[in-house]
Amino acid sequence: MPQQTVTGRAPATAPGEQGWSGRLAAWWGIDSGWERVPADPARAYRNDLWLGVAFVVVSVVGTELARSIGYFEDEPAPPWVLYLLSAAGAAPLVWRRRYPLVVLSVVYAHFLVVGLTVPMVTMLAPLQVVYFVALFSAVAWARDRQAMVVVVGAALFVMFGWLAWQFAVGAGIDGIVEQMGLADERPGLVDPGVAVTAYNLLVNFAYFYGAVVAGQLMWHGARRREQLEDQAATIERQTAELQRQAVVTERLRIARELHDVVAHHVSVIGIQAAAARRMLAGDPAAAAAPLATIEGESREAVTQMRGLLGTLRGIEDGGRDAVRDGGVGGAGRAPEPGLADVTGLADTTGGLDVEVRVVAEPGAVDGVPGPVGLSLYRTAQEALSNVRKHSTARRASVVVRVDRRPARRDDPDAHRFPHGFAEVEVLDDGRPRPGSAGTGLGLVGVRERVATHGGLADVGPRATGGYRVRVRLPLPEDRP
């Protein structure tokens, strides 16, 4: 039967007691408060149904085979009674995970009753397996661990008591030794009577102890799996919460900058525009001053807006490059780079030998829209930065491609590029440098840019060695 994964309905807690009693309680899970239930109860109970039916069939068939070889020749009971008793012993396994302690009690009561009336039935191998499975299931699936300890302890006490009673009241040790033909001889080092007693105790101890230990180990394994799943879910929730808090914090910061910087310029523009409108009617020459102020303030507002956008796009270092390059409050910020500026990255790689190739028709690179060109530029910049920081490569190549032709119809991604594409590909031949793992935020930013434009990204190691970062973005329709 396939093993079902499990979940619980209460967290596990460590026992409060110390010493051997505390360790014993922890082993049995008495104070854990955790209940083991199947992850998919319908499927688990359906499997138990088929398991019980299979044991019933095997038990009945085994009974007939044993009867056919003379196993029951001294039993006066008719065959149909033997079949019924065998089936009755195996049938309760249908509910082994739904009612594990009840099943154990019923199965072992069957063992005692049938063992006292038709003992040869209980000695059949299929029913011996049934008794083992019932004890194992009770330990592995009992929800009330205190009740499990009581029921299992009582069952073991009765079983070993029944075994002792069989030796004392039944044929006895001497009778068993005589039946084995060992009354007058001693084949081994141990007396035959002592050997028979010790052997039966050893077999029964291994039988019952194996079932109990296997069931308890299964229960502990299920609880550990759930604890690991709970920890993973907690980590995932905390990560999502931290990401949400980071986004909220960044939005609040940008809102403050918009209010303190950009709103100021817009307010000045509104005031100066009103003054210029009034002056134009009476003294047009005097309106030149407020109009000049409007011109300066508008340019400054545009510069500040670019700084804020640069802060938003600066994923690699958390937006600090926008402030450093003249973002918020800086009037000297250069225009945003485009696809044509990728060739300049070869001069800013800090010792890395970079070859840049452009595969495009003349003027095609300059015709790439600014947002697309900026995304591709940032992609190449991030990829080369990763090569320099995290790879042993000494050389890298950057290929810029611009193709205005529509994608071929047989291309599975033709719907993404109906008007052509612009692409940047960065290749290196190095290996990951030990101990230089980054945060991964740069590549996350690359994928976010690709998703924004509806493009494709191929990021990962190459089969021939090295690493590849290739990003292809769709171009808009080329209108005159």
Extract the tokens encoding 50: 């088929």
Asked if the structure places residue 134 within a domain, the reply is: yes
Co-location of 309 and 350 in the same domain: no
Q: Is residue 353 part of a domain?
A: yes
β-strand partners of 356:
398
Max mean pLDDT range (12-26, 229-243, 432-446): 229-243
**What pLDDT sits at residue 405?**
83
pLDDT in tens, 80-101: 999 999 999 999 999 999 999 9
Count of domains for the chain: 3
Residue 181 lies in a domain: no
pLDDT at 326: 40
Same domain membership, residue 139 and residue 244: no
Q: Dig out the tokens for 89 from the structure.
A: 């012993």
User: Are 343 and 320 part of one and the same domain?
Assistant: no
Whole-Å CA distances, 438 to 243, 316, 370, 432, 444: 18, 11, 29, 11, 12
Query: pLDDT (tens digit, 9 = 90+) per residue, 27-75?
Result: 888 877 888 888 888 999 999 999 999 999 999 999 999 888 888 887 7
Boundary residue ending a domain (147, 170, 193): 170
Please provide the DSSP assignment of 21-80 as one string.
HHHHHHHHTTT----EEESSHHHHHHHHHHHHHHHHHHHHHHHHHHHHTTTTTT--S-HH
- Same domain? For 12 and 152 the reply is yes
- Residue 409's domain is classified under what CATH number? 3.30.565.10
Q: Are residues 32 and 153 in the same domain?
A: yes
| pLDDT over 70, % of the chain | 76
Q: How far apart are CA 212 and CA 139, in angstroms?
A: 6
Whether 241 and 146 map to the same domain: the answer is no
Neighbours of 133 (CB within 10 A): 21
- pLDDT, position 95: 94
Highest mean pLDDT pick, 249-253, 316-320, 466-470, 474-478: 466-470
342 pLDDT tier (thresholds 50, 70, 90): confident
**pLDDT average, residue stretch 161-177:** 62
Q: How far apart are CA 316 and CA 189, in angstroms?
A: 80
- Residue 466 pLDDT more than 80? yes
- Whether 17 has a pLDDT exceeding 90, the answer reads no
Domain span including residue 296 = 237-324
Contact of 119 with 110, CB cutoff 8 Å: no
pTM: 0.50
The pLDDT, as a whole number, for residue 332 is 42
- For residues 249 and 310, give the distance between their C-alpha atoms in angstroms, rounded to a whole number: 17
135 neighbors 211 (Cβ within 8 angstroms): yes
Say whether both 301 and 427 belong to one domain: no
Q: Is residue 207 part of a domain?
A: no
Query: Does a structural domain hold residue 19?
Result: yes
The reply to whether 349 and 302 lie within a common domain is no
In a domain, 379, yes or no: yes
318 and 348 in a single domain? The answer is no
| CA–CA dist 480, 70 (Å, integer) | 101
Return the ∠ at Cα 321 (arms to 427 and 383), rounded to 5°: 5
pLDDT at 399 (0 to 100): 92
Q: Where are the alpha helices (DSSP H) in 258-330?
A: 263-282, 288-313, 320-324
Kindly state whether residues 320 and 344 are assigned to the same domain: no
Strand order in the sheet with 456-461: 353-359, 395-403, 421-428, 467-474, 456-461
Q: Please check whether residues 39 and 140 belong to one and the same domain.
A: yes
